[in-house]
Amino acid sequence: MIAIKPITLLDAFVFKAVRLRALQEAPHAFGSTYAKELQFADSEWLARIERMNGESGAGFLAMDGETACGIAGSFLDENDSTRAQLISMWTAPTHRERGIGRLLINEILNWAHLRNARTLLLMVTSNNAPGMRFYERLGFTRTGRTEPYPNDPAVVEYEMSRPISK
């Protein structure tokens, strides 16, 4: 049975492990790198969790028993709190096609809705066709905004959005 739970300070090492696993398994899906985050001190991981536990940020783990099998986070836009950004979305390959990504995004949508956000945005790389199809199935569409992927200028990131239902 999969459980979705907020990331708390008690989950610091689980969060660190699943984030590093995600960076290794899907290096082109994130704006950071495994090599960079592997060097983070424990204090940086704790600071990240604190940011994910405020009024303007949230992070969630998908747990299969004691095993973390997914992660997602969100922050409200600093300039427009009606917009929330989906970040760090990842499901372990062993757990894909089982609805875990949908559960994580639903948790983010609920969190954002409680903060009166009206739009959920994300960035997805042009070389991540399965990710784009997944987001499209959940009602996301491309906004037309693009930017270069920070780790490889040959790759483009597409912005996608979907309304947050009231």
Q: Is the pLDDT of residue 25 over 70?
A: yes
Whole-number percent of the chain with pLDDT over 70: 99
- pLDDT value at position 35? 95
Listed by start position, the domains of the chain span 2-163
Q: What is the mean pLDDT of residues 140-154?
A: 93
Categorize the per-residue pLDDT at 124 as very low, low, confident or very high, splitting at 50, 70 and 90: very high
- Answer yes or no: is pLDDT of 166 > 70: no
The pLDDT confidence band at residue 117, using thresholds 50, 70 and 90, is very high
Cα dihedral sign for 27, 30, 31, 35? Answer: negative
Average pLDDT over residues 142-164: 94
Question: What does pTM read for this prediction?
Answer: 0.94
Inform me whether the pLDDT recorded for 160 exceeds 70. Answer: yes
Tens of pLDDT, residues 43-96: 999 999 999 988 899 999 999 999 999 999 999 999 999 999 999 999 999 999
Q: Which CATH architecture has domain 2-163?
A: 3-Layer(aba) Sandwich (3.40)
